[in-house]
């Protein structure tokens, strides 16, 4: 190779090296710019993704001081954090107070977009849900009655303790139960735990430390006898792979309120030395004071109870008459359909159908279910099965000879049923139908499991905040007695007019 060619080749190599160096430098500069600038742009994009949107957020019903009712308003640490984050990110929301397990099920089924209910971030739950950044670090403590001589876990041998189902306290208690030789009795509500201890059915309660501290401030005769055990952190959650823009917005808003001091203000409000219930107003602790303060909530619950009962009863009556006629029909197909319907709904619990209609159908179809529609379907289809048998029994109680006599005179089967059999069957069925109406009023209380705000649900909300379980349930029982007495009187009056 000539000297000139070698020189040209060397020059070309140097140019390539310089080009590569310049390209590498340009890439480094661009990468630095991209790394330095994405936070504001991403934050803006996150805010824009949820701004102006409306979400359904599910929560627990009885987890003070994280969520509970104060004067009928849902308040607590979780509720204030949610409100502050929504204000920062520009979205609106509706809270559904369902209970812890039902809240998680609502997210799974798509009935709710997010849940914030003091949910511990665990590896098991991460299989089904995506969690937000932690917003509270939990810890478990054990409390016993003030008069108890139990001072440590060793003193629990052969005894029973209580904890809340699905909570960190339950997990910790069960993890040491075999080591110290005690049994764990799990319940759904914090207030129930304290009632068990007060009644002597459990010697100790395991729960998150702020929950126990709040219970003591509300007059529970308890003392804390153990140091705080390390627990999981709480986080808001969405269904796995869904509502990611809402989750990102929650994380962004949480970071903002932690930075601007709002987060610390919320914790101080509910967990500070001078804060007990989030309310500084003087309260009347007498029974009459409890009646007065809880009256608006009970009136609202009574209205919802009576309304859903009457709507459901009207549908149940129509269903019962139709299927009751099917049961006595000479048509074998109609008779079999009615038998299957009665077998299905009389043989399964109401709660199964309440959960199926409110959570199951949305999960299967992707279409949210209105809680009133779910409640009416649950009550009317269940009661309709019993009314079907009432109608069948009343028709069969009419002397069969009357059908034969009418048919022998040339009347058709349908005409005989309308003019001869059914008028007599109605009078026979009325007492049983009235009894079914009364049963429906009480069965409506089961709808509290899906968050329907009937009478017992309102009672639950009240005693979750004040821990006066017995007195609150006595007031609820009085409302049930009054409403059932009035409905019975009206039904009997209508019965007399019909006769």
Number of domain units in the chain: 4
Assigned domain for 278 exists: no
One domain, residues 308 and 262: no
Residue at 387 is within a domain: yes
Q: Dig out the tokens for 252 from the structure.
A: 């962004």
- Between CA 103 and CA 233 the distance in angstroms is 18
326 and 419 together in one domain: yes
Give the separation between CA 107 and CA 236, rounded to whole angstroms: 11
Could you give the C-alpha distances from 73 to 225, 285, 331, 333, 393, in angstroms and in order?
Answer: 33, 19, 56, 53, 48
Q: Please check whether residue 266 lies inside any domain of the structure.
A: yes
Residue 276 inside a domain? The answer is no
Q: Please say whether the beta carbons of 203 and 150 come within 8 A.
A: yes
Last residue of a domain, one of 171, 204, 233: 233
Note whether 330 and 445 are same-domain residues.
Answer: yes
Say what percent of the chain tops pLDDT 70. 86
Backbone angles phi, psi at 348, to 5 degrees: -130, 145
Per DSSP (E only), the strands in 4-67 are 54-59
Please list the alpha-helical segments (H only) found in 199-331.
Answer: 209-217, 244-260, 262-271, 287-327
Do residues 177 and 227 share a domain?
yes
Identify whether residues 432 and 448 lie together within a single domain. yes
Query: Residue 358 belongs to a domain with what CATH number?
Result: 1.10.3720.10
Beta-ladder partners of 222: 145
Given 246, 271, 296, the domain boundary residue is 271
Number of CB atoms found within 10 A of residue 499's CB: 8
Distance (Å) of CA 162 to CA 78, 172, 203, 210, 225: 24, 11, 8, 17, 15
Q: Is residue 280 part of a domain?
A: no
d(CA 20, CA 215): 69
Q: What is the CATH number of the domain that holds 216?
A: 3.40.190.10
Residue 361 located in a structural domain: yes
Residues of the chain below pLDDT 50? 1-9, 12, 15, 27, 29-30, 33-43, 274-282
> What pLDDT is recorded for position 385?
95
Task: Based on the fold, state whether residues 55 and 23 are members of the same structural domain.
Answer: no
Q: CA 226, CA 230: separation in Å to the nearest integer? A: 12
Please give the pLDDT value at position 253.
Answer: 93
Q: What is the pLDDT of residues 52-82, one digit of tens each?
A: 899 999 998 777 788 887 766 788 899 999 9
Q: Which of 294, 302, 299 is nearest to 71 (CA)?
A: 294
Specify if 119 maps to a domain.
yes
Q: Is residue 358 part of a domain?
A: yes
Tell me if residue 68 falls in helix, strand or coil: strand
Whole-angstrom Cα distance, residue 191 to residue 69?
13
User: 181 and 198 in contact (C-beta within 8 Å)?
Assistant: no
Q: Looking at the structure, tell me whether residues 406 and 306 fall in a common domain.
A: yes
Is residue 428 domain-shared with residue 322, that is, in the same domain?
A: yes
User: In this predicted structure, what is the pLDDT of residue 276?
Assistant: 36
**What is the domain extent for residue 312?**
287-498
Q: Roughly how many angstroms between the first and final C-alpha of the chain, as a whole number?
A: 125
Per-residue model confidence (pLDDT) at position 244: 92
Same domain, 213 and 358: no
Question: What would the pLDDT profile of 396-453 be if each residue is shown by its tens digit?
Answer: 888 877 777 877 777 877 777 777 888 888 888 888 888 999 999 999 999 888 878 8
Same-domain check for residues 74 and 51 = yes
* Residues 480, 356 within the same domain: yes
Q: What is the pLDDT of residue 458?
A: 82
What DSSP element (H or E) covers 129?
Answer: strand 129-131
Same domain, 401 and 466: yes
CA distance readout (Å), 296 to 302, 303, 455, 459, 469: 10, 11, 11, 11, 18
The rounded distance, in Å, linking the Cα atoms of 321 and 246 is 48
Q: Is the peptide bond before 297 cis (omega within 30 degrees of 0)?
A: no
């Amino acid at each position: 190779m000539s000297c000139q060619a070698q020189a040209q080749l060397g020059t070309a190599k140097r140019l390539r090296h310089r080009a590569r160096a310049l390209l590498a430098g340009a890439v480094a500069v661009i990468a630095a710019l991209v790394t330095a600038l994405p936070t504001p742009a991403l934050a803006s994009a996150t805010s824009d993704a949820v701004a102006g949107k409306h979400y359904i957020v599910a929560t627990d019903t009885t987890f003070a001081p994280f969520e509970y009712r104060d004067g009928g308003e849902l308040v607590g640490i979780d509720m204030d954090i949610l409100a502050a984050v929504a204000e920062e990110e520009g979205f609106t929301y509706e809270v559904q107070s369902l209970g812890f397990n039902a809240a998680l099920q609502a997210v799974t089924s798509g009935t709710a977009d997010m849940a914030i209910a003091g949910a511990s971030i665990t590896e098991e739950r991460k299989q089904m849900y995506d969690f937000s950044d932690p917003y509270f670090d939990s810890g478990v403590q054990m409390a016993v009655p003030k008069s108890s001589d139990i001072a440590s876990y060793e003193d629990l041998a052969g005894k029973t303790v209580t904890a809340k189902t699905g909570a960190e306290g339950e997990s910790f208690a069960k993890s040491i139960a075999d080591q110290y030789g005690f049994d764990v009795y799990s319940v759904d509500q914090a207030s129930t735990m304290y009632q068990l201890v007060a009644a002597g059915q459990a010697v100790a309660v395991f729960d998150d430390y702020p929950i126990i501290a709040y219970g003591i401030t509300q007059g529970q005769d308890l003392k804390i006898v153990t140091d705080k055990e390390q627990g999981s952190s709480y986080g808001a959650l969405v269904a796995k792979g869904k509502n990611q823009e809402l989750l990102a917005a929650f994380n962004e808003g949480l970071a903002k309120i932690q930075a601007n001091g709002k987060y610390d203000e919320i914790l101080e409000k509910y967990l500070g030395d001078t804060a007990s219930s989030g309310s500084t107003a003087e309260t009347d602790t007498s029974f009459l004071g409890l009646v007065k303060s809880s009256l608006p909530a009970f009136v609202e619950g009574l209205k919802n109870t009576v309304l859903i009962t009457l709507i459901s009863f009207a549908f149940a009556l129509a269903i019962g008459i139709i299927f009751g006629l099917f049961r006595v029909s000479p048509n074998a197909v109609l008779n079999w359909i009615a038998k299957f319907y009665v077998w299905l709904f009389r043989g399964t619990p109401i709660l199964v159908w309440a959960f199926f209609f409110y959570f199951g159908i949305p999960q299967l179809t992707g279409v949210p279910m209105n809680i009133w529609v779910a409640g009416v379907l649950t009550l009317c289809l269940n009661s309709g099965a019993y009314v079907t048998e009432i109608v069948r029994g009343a028709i069969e109680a009419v002397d069969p000879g009357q059908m034969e006599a009418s048919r022998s005179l040339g009347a058709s089967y349908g005409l005989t049923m309308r003019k001869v059999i059914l008028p007599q069957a109605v009078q026979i069925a009325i007492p049983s139908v009235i009894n079914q109406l009364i049963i429906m009023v009480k069965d409506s209380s089961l709808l509290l499991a899906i968050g329907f705000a009937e009478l017992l649900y309102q009672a639950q909300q009240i005693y979750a905040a004040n821990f006066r379980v017995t007195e609150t349930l006595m007031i609820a029982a009085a409302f049930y007695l009054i409403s059932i007495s009035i409905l019975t009187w009206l039904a009997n009056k209508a019965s007399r007019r019909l006769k």
